[in-house]
Structure 1
Amino acid sequence: MDDLRRIDLNLLLTLHALLAERHVSRAALRLHRSQPAVSHALAQLRSLFDDPLLVRRDGGLALTSQALELQRPLEDALDQLQGLMHAPAFDPGRARRTFRVALSDYGSRVALPALTRRLREHAPHVDLAATQASREAMLTQLLDGEIDLALGVFHEVPAELETKTLFEESFVCVADRATLPARGGLTMAQWLARPHVLVAMRPGADNEIDRALAELGHTRRVAVTLPHWSIAPELLAGTDLVLSVARRAVAHLQQDRQLRQLRHFAAPFPIPPFRFQAVWHARREVDPAHRWLREQIVAVCSDIG
């Protein structure tokens, strides 16, 4: 008991964040504390355990053997304390806060309108700060605590992040109907002979369509590369361009009078579907507010699906 009197809960929470993040600045973000305060707490912890806990190695911080041994019992102890403290449920109708969400352009089109309507209806004082970035940048922002949630297509996710598949998406081709046969789409030879529009954050970026083509030993000519889905269909009208795109990204074309001259058709080769996912840091897993937001996104994407 004498040893326990020397420790306060804040020190244990700081130790937990430092062991999980292995980075003083990220631990400070996680704890909503200043970096000097966390550095001071680390000095106290080193004195308390008579061990450096975190040491410089290969340009970063690594855990000492004693720190590694502390991780599991510390996690168990904090979980038990959490069980004793019944956190109040999140009340969306009364809450005032801002969620920081990163989405691709595709994610913004398919999910953001319905999510915004849902928030306005159920959480009128909750604000949404939406940003756009590459897949790699979104994951880095999650790790650094700069955003709360990312929505997009992620092939490899770091172990510190949690994921949930919201729906599976397939591809469709779109072109000006005047350049297509009266029925059906294009043969493989016709498709390869046409110039194409590619939607990517940067030219030459890896994408599902060109990977599928490469497996068949083919390449296509990309005449226009765009960073946004939204403008891509407008480039097709009156041209011979072909756009291969996620089906939900162009679901609105039949409702747009100016774009009714465009027609969907199946690609002449198989393009594997992809999973649209939500990704968040494990430190947000039990946060009632973040859990509520994830539930709203799941509900919205279920309706979309």
Structure 2
Amino acid sequence: MSAPVNLAGVDLNLLLAFEALLKHGSVTHAGAAIGLSQPSMSHALKRLRHLLDDELFCRDGSGMQPTPRAQELAPNIIEGLALLRAAVNQKIEFVPTESDRRFILGMSDVAAFGVLPLLMPALRRLAPKMDLIVVDLAAAEATEQLRLGKIDLALNAFVEIPAELQSRTLFTIPMTCVVDRRNPRLKDGALSLEAFKELPHVQVAGARSGLVTDYEVQAIGIRRRVALQVPHSLAVPAAVLGTDLIGILDSLTASAFQDWPDLCFVPPPIPMAPVGALALWHSRNQYDSGHKWLRELIFELQMCKSEEPGRSRHQLQPFPLTR
């Protein structure tokens, strides 16, 4: 068993370097984020390795990856630094119009399609100096990235929510089927169960979209033929055009294609649960004033659109564009 680390030898800047390496995966980028040169950052990593008796970060083709020991240390170090920042900055008022903070959001394509058209006009009016980075993450990846502090907020369909994460429902959306309007199996604007079974399908591959249709189809004993896999939902309508393919979409994504004259959207002939989108964030950010402001804005805009439009202080106004 190794001896306890002497806290008198722990420079706070070393912990900031550790946090930055976790977030950026690059010595150069991490150093730039905390104001250290590349040699200074390398020296800090060397001191950390000696102090904690572990490599902590190993280089591979995609950058500096945390070792199991670093992953074990990460949640407590990140949370400790967050608490320290909150204590030091607790009297500093968050002013959206002046904030130049940058937030990293992990989103499925469905969540991005539902949230960004509402959020960005409001953000450009209310916090024009604030920047967002949106990354494409599957639900399981997003929870891990939240735990490591690499993203600030995750918007996706989550089945399991770790205890250290906070959550809130964004929206639920019914599912729809999309086929070419000239599909011979389309009868009176509807698809029979037999047609659903026999037609070749377009499948949204992977877990990034948040769609769980395969599980539901298999649960009732249907084995469908997947003639095409696509990486995201937005590819489905175009793939169906001019073919006998059938696709399954959330109705939010489908609404963007309602004006395509050769597409037909029909209810699924099997029970299919609506797709849901949750917002997840780490407990360490629960009382961060800027983080709270951003997520409350997202929640308010969703509520304004779908449930209680009269309650929003930020009506769905367009960003004032001028020529």
State the TM-score, normalized to the length of structure 1. Answer: 0.72
Distance 1:245 1:137 in 2: 23
Distance 2:164 2:19 in 1: 13
Is 1:121 the counterpart of 2:121? The answer is no
The answer (yes or no) to whether the contact 1:196–1:220 under 8 Å persists in 2 is: yes
Give the match's secondary structure for 1:129: strand
Is 1:267 the counterpart of 2:272? The answer is no
Letter in 2 for 1:297: I
Judged with a 3 Å threshold, the aligned counterparts in structure 2 of structure 1 residues 40 and 283 are, in CA distance, closer, same or farther, namely farther
State the TM-score, normalized to the length of structure 2. Answer: 0.68
How far is 1:218 from its partner? 1.3
Is 1:213 the counterpart of 2:214? The answer is no
Give the match's secondary structure for 1:275: strand
Which residue of 2 is the match for residue 251 of structure 1?
255
Letter in 1 for 2:263: L
Question: Pairwise mapping of residues 133-148 of structure 1 onto structure 2 (< 5 A)?
Answer: 133-148=137-152
Which residue of 2 is the match for residue 21 of structure 1?
none
Distance 2:252 2:138 in 1: 20
How far is 1:202 from its partner? 7.2
Give the match's secondary structure for 1:173: strand
Give the match's secondary structure for 1:198: strand
Which residue of 1 is the match for residue 295 of structure 2?
294
Identity %: 31
Number of equivalent positions: 267
Which residue of 2 is the match for residue 90 of structure 1?
94
Q: CA RMSD in A?
A: 4.0
Judged with a 3 Å threshold, the aligned counterparts in structure 2 of structure 1 residues 224 and 108 are, in CA distance, closer, same or farther, namely same
How far is 1:87 from its partner? 2.8
Give the match's secondary structure for 2:304: helix
The answer (yes or no) to whether the contact 1:25–1:35 under 8 Å persists in 2 is: no
How far is 1:225 from its partner? 0.8
The superposition leaves residues 235-268 of structure 1 with CA deviations (integer Å, 9 ceiling, x where unpaired) of 11211111111111111222x4xx2221111111
Distance 1:35 1:101 in 2: 28
Judged with a 3 Å threshold, the aligned counterparts in structure 2 of structure 1 residues 293 and 214 are, in CA distance, closer, same or farther, namely same
Letter in 2 for 1:267: P
Which residue of 2 is the match for residue 228 of structure 1?
232
The answer (yes or no) to whether the contact 1:201–1:226 under 8 Å persists in 2 is: no
How far is 1:181 from its partner? 3.5
Letter in 1 for 2:204: V
Distance 1:263 1:219 in 2: 23
Give the match's secondary structure for 1:178: coil
Which residue of 1 is the match for residue 188 of structure 2?
183
Q: If you compute each CA radius of gyration, which structure gives the higher value, 1 or 2?
A: 1
Which residue of 2 is the match for residue 111 of structure 1?
115
Q: Which runs of 5+ in 1 are unaligned?
A: 1-6, 18-23, 47-58, 64-70
Judged with a 3 Å threshold, the aligned counterparts in structure 2 of structure 1 residues 85 and 176 are, in CA distance, closer, same or farther, namely closer
Judged with a 3 Å threshold, the aligned counterparts in structure 2 of structure 1 residues 164 and 238 are, in CA distance, closer, same or farther, namely same
Distance 1:156 1:35 in 2: 38
Judged with a 3 Å threshold, the aligned counterparts in structure 2 of structure 1 residues 85 and 207 are, in CA distance, closer, same or farther, namely closer
The superposition leaves residues 220-242 of structure 1 with CA deviations (integer Å, 9 ceiling, x where unpaired) of 11111111222221111211111
How far is 1:39 from its partner? 10
Judged with a 3 Å threshold, the aligned counterparts in structure 2 of structure 1 residues 219 and 62 are, in CA distance, closer, same or farther, namely closer
Which residue of 1 is the match for residue 158 of structure 2?
154
The answer (yes or no) to whether the contact 1:164–1:279 under 8 Å persists in 2 is: yes
How far is 1:303 from its partner? 3.5
Letter in 2 for 1:151: L
The answer (yes or no) to whether the contact 2:181–2:262 under 8 Å persists in 1 is: yes
How far is 1:275 from its partner? 2.2
Which residue of 2 is the match for residue 193 of structure 1?
198
Q: Which runs of 5+ in 2 are unaligned?
A: 1-6, 24-32, 35-40, 53-67, 307-323
The superposition leaves residues 13-38 of structure 1 with CA deviations (integer Å, 9 ceiling, x where unpaired) of 99xx9xxxxxx9459869x9789879
The answer (yes or no) to whether the contact 1:229–1:249 under 8 Å persists in 2 is: yes
The answer (yes or no) to whether the contact 1:226–1:232 under 8 Å persists in 2 is: yes
Judged with a 3 Å threshold, the aligned counterparts in structure 2 of structure 1 residues 207 and 106 are, in CA distance, closer, same or farther, namely closer
